[in-house]
Amino acid sequence: AAGSPAGSAARPSGHSCGSPEISWTLPDTSHVSKEDLTSQVGDVLLYYCYCEVRDPEKLCAWQKALCQHLHLTGKVRVASEGINGTVGGSKVATSLYIKVMLSQPLFKNILCQEDFKSSAGGAHCFPDLRVGVFKEIVPMGIDPKIVSYKETGIHLSPQEFHREVEQYLSQATQGQSDTILLDCRNFYESKIGNFQGCLAPDIRKFSYFPSYIDENLELFKDKRVLMYCTGGIRCERGSAYLRSKAVCREVYQLKGGIHKYLEEFPDGFYRGKLFVFDDRYAICSNEDIISACRYCGVLWDQYKLCSSQHCRQLVLTCPSCCNKGLTACCPVCQEKELKVTSRASGQILKEECECTRRRPRVPIERVSPRMLDTGK
């Protein structure tokens, strides 16, 4: 249906009233035992906050000190446009982290408790702690001054998004939908889990997303677009970029991403696993397996890193195929792995394999009338 869905959907106006001073406060941990602070049983937090940061270097230094103080690991990106983090630690440590973040004057009245997406994990989910200053808090490759988070799409709560997807699937079955359900993630993420009936671009990096939009602009003309990603941050810039093209009737996005949707609809329209950027690779909310082993085709959705040392691709290879030595992402890498021991030590090998050679950097969609149906 045309127009805005009912509910609390709104487009944020952005925060432009000046950046407050950054507090250097670290939490008091004298009442907490070291065991509680460093326990392996804990959580992984995913969050972001768009706001104006006058001194990114200072925020970065405080953030690094805070994470080290709480024995947290993970990745935090700081920029003049805000902060984006995924950190792991004990339940006590992550709870203290949220409390301090919410009390930071810089984030006051912007960041709230529900902005933190939590899943079972801990410090062991990341190899180390990496905190740095970047131009963007999510790497889309477009200057934030050109495409700003302040021009984002209309945010839909999980309940509103659920109703929209339900209506979209119903109309698509009858071949009369005016909506596109767009997955803003990378192909290896959507491969193991996605919303039914979605359009999932076959792109490897989010920095390819703007080019994907440019090359397929006709596809979005006069359409209502429902966008989603893992935690919501890619939709903030992605929706702003799509809106800047002025071809869509309207652009909506899932607030809090798949994370928040699954909290309320674990058995809803999202099927399969949710890919995460840490050593877990995926978290589960339902029993569906929608992907297959790269070698034998049996249902399988647990990623491993390609066994060829020069390659950074992920591969779906089941235990049976692993036992047969099929542990690389493609035959080219499998062959290179066998040869690598005979090469001179320290030789740098490029990431070249059949996977990257076959996949176009930015695919051009050939949309048939049934491509955007219920997608079962």
Query: What is 195-220 written as a DSSP string?
Result: ETT-B----SSGGGHHHHHHHTGGGG
- Between 74 and 287, the higher pLDDT residue: 74
Q: What mean pLDDT is reported for the chain?
A: 88
Indicate if 128 and 38 belong to the same structural domain: yes
282-287 CB contacts, 8 Å cutoff, 24+ apart: 282/192, 282/193, 283/119, 283/120
Q: Which residues contact 350 (CB under 8 A, 6 or more apart)?
A: 310
Residues of the chain with pLDDT > 70, as a percent, come to: 88
65 within 8 A of 22, measured Cβ to Cβ: no
Indicate if 305 and 235 belong to the same structural domain: no
**Confidence check: pLDDT of 72 > 70:** yes
Indicate if 225 and 318 belong to the same structural domain: no
- pLDDT, tens only, 97-156: 999 999 999 998 899 999 999 999 999 999 999 999 999 999 999 999 999 999 999 999
User: What three-state secondary structure class fits 5?
Assistant: coil
363 lies in some domain = no
pLDDT band at residue 348 under the 50/70/90 scheme: low
Its domain, for residue 325, covers 292-339
Indicate if 180 and 78 belong to the same structural domain: no
- pLDDT, tens only, 177-213: 899 999 999 999 999 999 999 999 999 999 999 999 9
102 within 8 A of 113, measured Cβ to Cβ: yes
Q: How many residues does the structure list for the chain?
A: 376
**Confidence check: pLDDT of 220 > 90:** yes
What is the predicted pLDDT for the residue at 230? 97
What is the predicted pLDDT for the residue at 1? 37
Pairing of strands 250-254, 154-156: parallel
Tally the domains of the chain: 3
229 is annotated as an active-site residue: yes
**Residue 154: which of 3, 7, 11, 2 has the closest Cα?**
11
- For residue 181, what are the β-bridge partners? 226
What is the predicted pLDDT for the residue at 353? 78
- pLDDT, tens only, 156-167: 999 999 999 999
Q: Which residues contact 306 (CB under 8 A, 6 or more apart)?
A: 312, 313, 314, 315, 327, 328, 329, 333, 353
360 lies in some domain = no
DSSP assignment letter at 30? T
356 lies in some domain = no
Indicate if 245 and 214 belong to the same structural domain: yes
Q: What CATH number is attached to the domain comprising 87?
A: 3.30.70.100
What is the predicted pLDDT for the residue at 177? 82
Indicate if 168 and 240 belong to the same structural domain: yes
Indicate if 296 and 272 belong to the same structural domain: no
pTM of the model: 0.86
- Between 342 and 308, the higher pLDDT residue: 308
CA of 178: how far to CAs of 85, 174, 175, 248, 375, in Å? 35, 11, 9, 11, 16
91 lies in some domain = yes
Q: Cα 187 to the chain's mean position, in Å? A: 12
Indicate if 86 and 196 belong to the same structural domain: no
Taking 3-state DSSP, the helix, strand and coil percentages for the chain, each rounded to the nearest 5, stand at 30, 20, 50
What is the predicted pLDDT for the residue at 374? 41
208 within 8 A of 356, measured Cβ to Cβ: no
Alpha helices in 228-353 (DSSP H): 233-244, 257-264, 319-323, 331-340
- Catalytic residue, chosen from 184, 198, 229, 248, is 229
300 lies in some domain = yes
What is the predicted pLDDT for the residue at 176? 73
Q: Cα 325 to the chain's mean position, in Å? A: 31
- pLDDT, tens only, 14-31: 444 456 888 888 999 999
Q: What CATH number is attached to the domain comprising 239?
A: 3.40.250.10
- Between 98 and 307, the higher pLDDT residue: 98
174 lies in some domain = yes
**Confidence check: pLDDT of 39 > 50:** yes
**Confidence check: pLDDT of 376 > 50:** no
358 lies in some domain = no
349 lies in some domain = no
